[in-house]
Every structure is written in C-alpha cells, then in structure tokens.
Structure 1
Amino acid sequence: MIPAALWTYQKERFPLVRTVPLLAVFSAASISVSAEMAGRPLPGWGAFAAGFAVAMLLFFQMRVCDEYKDLEDDKRYRPDRPIPRGLISLRAVLSLGLASLPLTAFAAWAWHPPLIWLLGGVWLWLAAMTAEFGAPEWLKARPVLYLLSHMAIMPLIDLLLTAMEWLPAGGPAFWLWLFLALSFVNGCVLEIGRKLWAPQSEIAGVESYSGLWGPKKGALIWAACVALSWGLLVGVGAATGVVWVAVLLGGAGALWCIRAAAAYAAAPTIAAQKRLDMAAGLWVFACYALAGFAPLIVRMF
C-alpha cells in the first residue's frame, strides 16, 4: 500500500517524468556553463552525478517544506491533495525529507567536501522560507515580495551546482552572475506561469497571479519575465562564445512563449492556461539546454 501511495504522491506532487529531465539539464548545464565561462575543461563525470543528485534531493526537500508549510491551507481549500485526502501522511513525507538530508550532504561531500558550506547556505534559506521569514501574514500580504523572496533560492541552488566545477578549480568566472540571474528569472517564469489560471480554475482562498493581477496583466508580466530571461540568455551566450545561438534560437523560443501569453490574455481558457504552463516549462528547459550545451555542440562542428 505504501509504495502505491508514494507512486501516486510523486505523480501528483513531484512528477518524476517532468522533474528528472528538467533537473538533469539544469544541473549539467550549470556545471558546463561554469567551465565554459572560465575557459576550463569540463570536470569529470562525478561532478555531473553529484550535481544531479543534489538538485533532485533539494527540489524534493522544497516540496516537503511546502507540504508542511501549506498543510492548513490545503486542508481548507485543496482537500483533494494527497495529504489532506489521506493518501499519505504528513509524517511519512517529512520522514522522507529528513532521510534525504544526509544523502544530499554525502553527494556534495563525496565530490568536493567544501561544497557542504554552500549546501548549508541553501538549507538555511529553505528553512527561512518555510518559516515565512518569521512574518507570514506580512509577507503573504505582499505577493510580489513573497515571490521574489522565495525565488531567491534558485540562484543559491545554482551557485551550489556551478560550484561543483568552480570550487575545485579555484574560483568562479566573472560573468557567472549572469547565469545566476537567469536562474532567478527562470524561477519567476515557472512560478508565475503555473499560477496564471482560467477563471473557472480559480479556487476560493488560494492565491494565483491571475487572481492578483487579472489574466491580461498577469500574461504581460509573465511575457516580460520571458523577455528578461532571453536577454540574460543572450548575455550568457556572449560570455560562452555562442551569442548568435542565444539570439536566434532563444529569440524564436521567446516569441513562441509571448504568443502563448497573448493567446491566454485574449481568451483565458483552461486550454490556454495549460499551454502557458507548458510554455513556461519548455522555455526554462530550452534556456538551460542552450546555455549549457550550445558551446559544446558548436565546437563539434
């Protein structure tokens, strides 16, 4: 019963079919970009294995913290979720999260022990996020600040992942900050994109960006985030010697996303909502794929 419940839980709350490819590209691209910007050869396979393991475990821990933090709201407004409906207990999910902590530390330590300090920084921010920085009501009354404070964990995770390459090699490249900024903005693209809903999808008591801003303004803000993300991708491409790839392929992807935003703004249906959510995920996937692997592919030809 428990394995079946866990399988259902992951499909609903941590879908591996989407999460594994995205985090594999995210972690590998982070390590590759760090090396490319510094003009260093790629590290050994151990760095990529450790990076993927750390990324997967950290994102699972973020999901566990959300389950704990949002439990009362879920019971009240989203009783169909796995924990409120009794599929699996919060205790079981928390136990899995706690069990993942030493695994994460071991994965980082096994590749390069000083990485533990950066991992500790990510955990501290995650703990502060879970506690809503000690001011939950004040923060929830300011949705934009809430978004920015929570998305700040993305560049922290990326700093850790890029450090798989630069920490053993002696230091980060100067332009690495562009890639960290890209991670921050892409976090906003994902988060806003998954909470721009059709009117019939809105849930009383549950905050969404379509409810906060309205579909048209929400779509405009999301499209602006995509455009900013593209600009940062071009900057990363310039730093790694493939600016034309970022301009052309990244620009084509950004235009496709903006078209999806315009379609949602014009008619915020459930189908348009799903296309926008899909566009957010594909855009972030494409961003990291282009940033991390385009320099390697270009050199091959």
Structure 2
Amino acid sequence: MTLAERLWIYQDERFPLKKTVPLLACFSAASITLSAVLGERSLPGVGAYVVGFLLVFILFFQLRVADEVKDGADDARFRPERPIPRGLVSLRLIVLLGIATIPIGIVLALIHGAGLIWLLLLTWAWLTAMTFEFGVPESLKARPVVYLLSHMAIMPLIDLLLTGIEWLPHGGAAPGLWLFIALSFSNGCVLELGRKLWAPENERLGVDTYSGLWGPKRAAQVWMVFIGISAALLIGVGVATGHALAFTLIAVAATGYCILAALRYATYPTPQAEKQMDTLAGLWVFLCYAVAGFLPLILGGLP
C-alpha cells in the first residue's frame, strides 16, 4: 500500500474523520457563537470560525498522537491489532505528523491576533504534561479518578481557546461563559467514561476500562453523575442566555433517555449495550454543544 492508503486506514481506525469532523465543527462553532451571544455582540466573521475549527482539529489530532506515545508499550503488548503495533504505520511517522501541525497552529493563532497565541501555548503546555503523565505515570494509573480529571482538564482549556477567538478582541469574556467552559470539562468526562464501559466478555488483560475497574453497575452510575452535571450546566447556560425553559426541557428529556440506557447497560452489560453507551456519549456531547451554541440564535437570543 502507498503511504496515503496506510494513513487513510489509520485515520479510519484511530481518528475517524466521519465522526470527528462533525463533532469538532459543532464544538468550535458553538463555542464562538455562544461567546458572542453571552457578550451581547454580533457574530464574528467566517474567518474566526475557520480558525476555530482548524485549531481544534489540530489539537484533537495532537491528543491522538499523545495517546499513541503514552500507550505505545501497552498497545504493543496487549493490543497488537492496532495500526502502529501491527506495522501499518510507525510511531515516528505519527509523531512527526503531530509535530508538523504545530507551526500551522502558531500561524493560525498569530493571524487571528489579539493574544490568541498565549491561550494556544497554555493548552499545548497542558497537553505536553499529559503526554508524559505529569511525570508520575505510576501514581496516576493507581488513581483512576485523578487520572480522568487531570486529563479532562484539557477540555476547558481548549474551550477557553475557542471562545477566546471571539472575546479576546473585545477585551474580556462574558461572566456566564464559565458555565459553558465547565460544561466542556463535564462532557469530556462523559465521553471518556462512555467509551470505556465494556461488556464483561470484551474486557481484555492490560486494557484499562472503568467497567473493568468498578464493575458495569458502578461505572454506569458514575457516568450518570456526569450526565447530570452536564445537564445542570446546560440548563445554567440556558438561564444565562434567557432561554431557561427550552434548555431545561431538552436537557431533562435527553438526560432521561441517557439514564434509561445506562440502567439497561448496568443490568445487562452486553456488547450491544456497550456500543450504545459509546454512541450515546458522543450524541450527548454533540447535543449539548448544538443546543448551547445555536438554540439561542434560533430563539432570537442574539441582539
């Protein structure tokens, strides 16, 4: 196979564009739009949205590269079917591709101006620390909750960068924006937990999952807690935008569906239920960003 063909297979297995692009486009556009809504300002130009999408795409690809680096030894031992261990592409190639995106990100931030480069550098600093497990890999692995929270802290930093595309030129963020940034943190936990709720027969030696760590029932309960936190923060965003009722109705309905699915998984953790939880986690996050970013526009929230 040619290099292009091998990279195409790699993205399909480890960074699927068909799923990643829509979610990141929604995430970046919603962040920028909501910042303008909360600040009672007009929407920025198309260029701001393009910069936002490209930056978040670069950052999420770099997150994938970071995972390949820190999980390399475990993948070679316990997941030999993955692209790098089986020899489809080399770790060196993927790392070089990740490094190649750094100057692109710098150029994008400098073109936008208004000090955006400092928020990008702050995000990269945390990403670098994550890649090397903050210098205490064994300690983190022994504390899965601390591991989860420390790694998901990258999400509010990314959201601060995205919203900064809108608020930096105006000298400051709207007071209610912290609700949305906190929502990004909670949603990151929803995604991370949701993709690691497995059926017992799919658990593998050397592969850390929350269902394997806590058992399906308790892991599902923790996932539901973060769904509840995200729902409360989404409603808070609705209050801040003046559309509390609409936000509440959507949040309550979606939360109810998620709870029913989690209870089914906790009772019957089948492979089908495992797949549903992974899918549902992604849909929940997509819904939160779509509602927070665009519902105020539909309901006339932008002056």
Q: One fold, TM greater than 0.5?
A: yes
Aligned residue in 2 for 1:298? 299
TM-score of the pair, normalised by structure 2: 0.98
**Cα distance, 1:113 vs. partner?**
4.9
Task: Note the alpha carbon deviations across 1:104-124, whole angstroms, 9 max, x for none.
Answer: 111222122510001000000
Note the alpha carbon deviations across 1:48-86, whole angstroms, 9 max, x for none. Answer: 100000000000001001101110000001000000000
* Aligned residues of 2:114 and 2:169 also touching (Cα < 8 A): no
1:184-225 residue CA offsets vs partner (Å, 9 max, x unmatched) = 000000000000000011110111000111000111110111
Tell me what 2:213 maps to.
212
Partners of 1:110 and 1:13 in 2: CA distance: 30
SS in 1 for 2:288: helix
What residue number does 2:146 align with?
A: 145
- Distance in 2 (CA, whole Å) between partners of 1:9 and 1:191 is 21
Aligned twin of 1:274: 275
Distance in 1, Cα, partners of 2:25 & 2:207: 31
The TM-score normalised by the length of structure 1 is 0.98
Tell me what 2:247 maps to. 246
CA distance in 2, matches of 1:186, 1:246: 16
What amino acid does structure 1 have at the position aligned with 2:76? K
Match for residue 225 of structure 2?
A: 224
Measure, in 1, the Cα distance between the counterparts of 2:88 and 2:200. Answer: 28
- Output the CA distance in 1 between the equivalents of 2:294 and 2:56: 18
* Structure 1 match to 2:192: 191
Residue 43 of structure 1 corresponds to 44
Residue 114 of structure 1 pairs with residue 130 of structure 2: no
Confirm or deny: 8 A CA contact 2:261 2:277 kept in the other structure. yes
Q: Secondary structure at the match of 2:125?
A: helix
For 1:154, give the aligned amino acid. Answer: M
Structure 2, unaligned runs of 5 or more? none
Supply the AA of the counterpart residue of 2:98.
G
1:96 aligns with 2:97: yes
The question of whether the paired residues in 1 share the 8 Å contact of 2:114 and 2:168 is answered with: no
Separation in 1, partners of 2:129, 2:96? 20
Answer whether contact 2:116 2:164 (CA < 8 A) is retained.
yes
Quick one: distance in 1 between partners of 2:242 and 2:84? 48
**1:214-264 deviation digits (Å, cap 9, x = unpaired):** 000111110111011000000011111221121111211111111110110
Letter in 1 for 2:289: Y
Q: Give the equivalent residue in structure 1 for 2:264.
A: 263
Between the aligned partners of 1:20 and 1:168, the Cα distance in structure 2 is 27
Q: Following TM superposition, where does structure 1 have runs of at least 4 consecutive aligned residues deviating by more than 4 angstroms?
A: none
Q: Distance in 2 between matches of 1:244 and 1:46?
A: 33
Residue 2, structure 1, aligned to residue 12, structure 2: no
- The 2-side partners of 1:245 and 1:6 are apart by 43
Quote the residue 1:61 is aligned against: 62
Give aligned-pair identity as a percent.
59
CA–CA separation in structure 2 for the residues paired with 1:168 and 1:252: 37
| Partner Cα separation in structure 2 for residue 136 and residue 69 of structure 1 | 9
SS of 1:127's partner is helix
Structure 1, 284-293 or 106-115: larger mean CA deviation? 106-115
Q: Matched residue of 1:196: which SS?
A: coil
Amino acid of the structure 2 residue aligned with 1:118: L
1:99 counterpart SS class = helix
Secondary structure at the counterpart of residue 105 of structure 2: helix
Aligned-partner residue type, residue 65 of structure 1: A
Gaps of 5+ in 1: none
